[in-house]
Amino acid sequence: MAKVSVVARLKVKADKADAFPAAWDALLAFIDDNEPGTEHYVLHRSTADPTLFFVTEVYENQAALDAHITSDAFAAFGASLGDFIEDADMQFLTPVNAAKGLL
């Protein structure tokens, strides 16, 4: 099966932006401990706009992505983001080329 990836753009409320990265701690620990099919999962913050974040994700296959998005940990995390998010966009992708490590 082919690898799958996700890129999410998250616009966070200005008064919540500095607290936003810490809100990810429990989910990232869960992924580290419980999702062997998750190969890459990184939260990024824009250097030009401190309220703009991106998440890049790469999964071993569609089943690994499905396991992630249907987990209780992800559901609880998603429910907790309501106070932070102003706008969001998520793209589901297929990696096609890479310089190091992902393909």
CATH number of the domain at 38, please.
3.30.70.100
- The parent domain of residue 57 ranges over 2-91
Number of domains in the chain: 1
pLDDT recorded at residue 23:
96
Give the pLDDT score at 87.
Answer: 97
List the Cα angle 89/93/54 in 5-degree steps.
Answer: 40
CA distances from 75 to 4, 46, 93 (A): 20, 25, 21
At 51, give phi and psi (nearest 5°). -100, 0
Note whether residue 101 is domain-resident: no
* pLDDT string in tens for the chain (103-residue length): 699 999 999 999 999 999 999 999 999 999 999 999 999 999 999 999 999 999 999 999 999 999 999 999 999 999 999 999 999 999 999 998 888 766 5
Helices and strands (H, E) in the chain, number of each type: 3, 4
7 located within any domain:
yes
Is 96 part of any domain? Answer: no
pTM, 2 dp: 0.92
Residue 64's nearest CA partner among 78, 50, 74 is: 74
Task: Report how far residue 83's alpha carbon sits from residue 48's, in angstroms, rounded to the nearest whole number.
Answer: 23
